[in-house]
Structure 1
Amino acid sequence: MLAEKVLELKKLKNAVILAHNYQLPEVKAVADFIGDSLNLSMEAAKTRADIIVFAGVLFMAETAAILNPDKKVLIPDPGAGCSLASSVDVEAVKQWREKHPNGVVVAYINTYADVKALADYVCTSANCLKIVEAIPRDRPVLFLPDKYLGMYIAARTGREIDIWEGECHVHAKITYPRILAKVMLYRDAEVLVHPECGCGTACLVELPKLGVQPRFLSTEGMVRYVKTSPAKRFIIATEVGIIDRLEKEAPGKEYIPAAEDAVCEYMKLTTLEKIYISLRDEVYRVTVPPEVAEKARRAIERMLEYA
């Protein structure tokens, strides 16, 4: 059985498998740790394994490599990219910094290493509000690359922010009309919204008018919340891969995807067979140039301080 071979190889090579919540169920089944970007970064920072197999997308593996320069970080499919991370123009960020010498660049973790190297802070959806609120209000802020998350942060903090025009193509399709249709159909359901969603600010303003109080949570926050909530039905506004974990960790409840087609094809590139090959042949290694890694590490470590 392939899963057993993976577990044997993992033990033999002192390897650890880190899997994002959006991964396929069979991939998560062999993982040592499952979580969102923040939790995976924290786990990568403290692991004692010699090899890290990152079942996620490339920017996540880069972050693990930055935090573990002496370890071998592997990604099972080097084509596992990210439409959001690819939306950033590094030269444009440099130009913004030149125009705003007193400015602060806050880069969402969904960015590549060369962008993180230009940032003052890296953040995730779990700690973005804490980080932005800690920045003095007399300092301009550039938030990148997700415009919906940036709009959510601006609405919650009440401060002016220069927001990059990027989006996650999966979360962008989770619009307010789609959420509203599910809310009207399932009036007893709690609404859990990832702040990357295209419906974010509309949910913040419009749903309370209907007596619905949406909760804006990272994927890990969703897992924690459903375990303690007395509710039996939830509308889940994020990539559908999270739902099998919710069902496993908080069974006996109903989880309704806000958009059934919210599927990240990049996350789904990783398969059990590719993990096996990656461990067996120790491919494909992810490295970051030392000069880039050093600058990016400072911004990532600031993020971890707010974890």
Structure 2
Amino acid sequence: MSITTLQKSDLQEQVIRLKKEKNAVILAHYYQEPEIQEVADFIGDSLELAKKAAQTTADIIVFAGVHFMAETAKILNPSKKVLLPDLKAGCSLAESCPPEAFRELKQKYPDHVVVTYINCSAEIKTLSDIVCTSSNAERIINAIPPDKPIIFAPDKNLGKYLIEKTGRKMLLWDGACIVHEAFSLDKLLELYKAHPQAKIIAHPESEAHILKVANYVGSTSGMLNYVKQSPNHTFIVATEAGILHQMQKDVPEKILIPAPAKEDNTCACSECAFMKMNTLQKLYNCLEKEDPEITLSEDIMHKALIPIERMLQLS
């Protein structure tokens, strides 16, 4: 059920009040609902938010995102309280890589360097040599000695894109994000015919046929910067539609069109149902009750921290 403008304003005021009272910081991903982004202290992609989580002096971290992001914040801040508005806010990509199955693969290739995309569980991070995000993945792959074979997990689409960009052969885990695999090439080309002056921009989690027709491929923050710096006026955006809120604020004079999904839905775009599980009401509730809280064992936090710190050093 949608909330009224008055309810939204009141809830946002209460969230801001609680933040100050409790010395809490709200980290929000670009894919969150606009009313959550509006009360966040920092809005960013996975890399930017990981950096903010590592730097914060707040006593409480509220992560308006999905479960693996809140886990990363907890790993970087083991003594702080980390909250997630809805514990069921998971990730189809993270869930596509079960730890036991991944452990078996790793054991078959003991000489391989294991690079994992940050969109994975804390347990998968404990099995990794280094973590990456879409913002820094190319740099991290290039930093690995050429004679070292690589396992890349869990996103096969990002992995294929990196093989093409770096020329490195990599063993890829067969995982994917349902949001970024939802784009319809046929509908996209029809949309482009209607807007031939548009630049198509895409996230590297998208399938190869989408990336091939894109004028620019990059991370969430990379796409935002491209739109800000480009002299072009119209863009077709192939990533989760939540990015359009911040993007439109950055370039109010430009036309932004969400890339169409295969299935017909209310927004004719691709939305992450997990990201949208967090609501302003749930954000208020979790700040007020300081629950639900992210908890991880000391062993998992210690082991998972090593590959995350390696990533941050290279970033």
Aligning the two structures, in what range does the TM-score lie when normalised by the shorter sequence?
over 0.9
Cα deviation, residue 176, structure 1: 3.2
Tell whether 2:129 aligns with 1:120.
yes
Relative to the length of structure 1, the TM-score reads: 0.94
Match of 1:210 in 2: none
CA distance in structure 2 between the aligned counterparts of 1:128 and 1:297, rounded to whole angstroms: 18
CA distance in structure 1 between the aligned counterparts of 2:187 and 2:232, rounded to whole angstroms: 21
Tell whether 2:289 aligns with 1:293.
no
Contact 1:53 1:76 (C-alpha < 8 Å) held by counterparts:
yes
Cα deviation, residue 242, structure 1: 0.4
CA distance in structure 2 between the aligned counterparts of 1:184 and 1:118, rounded to whole angstroms: 46
| Amino acid corresponding to residue 218 of structure 2 in structure 1 | L
Cα deviation, residue 175, structure 1: 4.0
Match of 1:242 in 2: 243
CA distance in structure 2 between the aligned counterparts of 1:234 and 1:24, rounded to whole angstroms: 21
Contact 2:204 2:211 (C-alpha < 8 Å) held by counterparts:
no
Match of 2:144 in 1: 135
Mark the runs of 5 or more structure 2 residues left unpaired by the alignment.
1-9, 261-267
User: Counterpart of 2:273 in 1: which secondary structure?
Assistant: coil
Match of 2:7 in 1: none
Segment of structure 1 superposing worse, 216-225 or 45-54:
216-225
Match of 1:277 in 2: 285
Cα deviation, residue 88, structure 1: 0.6
| Amino acid corresponding to residue 111 of structure 2 in structure 1 | N
Identity %: 49
Mark the runs of 5 or more structure 1 residues left unpaired by the alignment.
208-212
CA displacement, residues 205-237 of structure 1 (integer Å, 9 cap, x when unaligned): 4x3xxxxx6211111112222222111111100
Map residues 177-188 of structure 1 onto 2, 5 A cutoff.
Answer: 177-188=186-197
CA distance in structure 2 between the aligned counterparts of 1:96 and 1:167, rounded to whole angstroms: 17
Tell whether 2:297 aligns with 1:302.
no
Contact 1:175 1:197 (C-alpha < 8 Å) held by counterparts:
no
User: Counterpart of 1:159 in 2: which secondary structure?
Assistant: coil
The 1:293/1:184 distance shift into structure 2, 3 A limit, reads same
Match of 2:153 in 1: 144
Tell whether 2:274 aligns with 1:266.
yes
CA displacement, residues 87-137 of structure 1 (integer Å, 9 cap, x when unaligned): 112123222222222211111110010000100111111111111121122
User: Counterpart of 2:68 in 1: which secondary structure?
Assistant: helix
CA distance in structure 2 between the aligned counterparts of 1:240 and 1:274, rounded to whole angstroms: 21
The 1:204/1:169 distance shift into structure 2, 3 A limit, reads closer
Contact 1:85 1:111 (C-alpha < 8 Å) held by counterparts:
yes
Contact 2:28 2:44 (C-alpha < 8 Å) held by counterparts:
yes
Match of 1:202 in 2: 209
| Amino acid corresponding to residue 158 of structure 1 in structure 2 | G
CA distance in structure 2 between the aligned counterparts of 1:178 and 1:159, rounded to whole angstroms: 33
Tell whether 2:40 aligns with 1:39.
no
Contact 1:100 1:140 (C-alpha < 8 Å) held by counterparts:
no
CA distance in structure 1 between the aligned counterparts of 2:290 and 2:182, rounded to whole angstroms: 36
User: Counterpart of 2:151 in 1: which secondary structure?
Assistant: strand
| Amino acid corresponding to residue 98 of structure 1 in structure 2 | Q
Match of 1:102 in 2: 111
Tell whether 2:238 aligns with 1:231.
no
Match of 2:59 in 1: 50
The 1:167/1:122 distance shift into structure 2, 3 A limit, reads same
Segment of structure 1 superposing worse, 273-282 or 93-102:
93-102
CA distance in structure 2 between the aligned counterparts of 1:135 and 1:176, rounded to whole angstroms: 34
May I ask how many residue pairs the two structures share in their alignment? 299
Cα deviation, residue 34, structure 1: 0.3
User: Counterpart of 1:191 in 2: which secondary structure?
Assistant: strand
CA distance in structure 1 between the aligned counterparts of 2:145 and 2:101, rounded to whole angstroms: 23
Cα deviation, residue 246, structure 1: 0.7
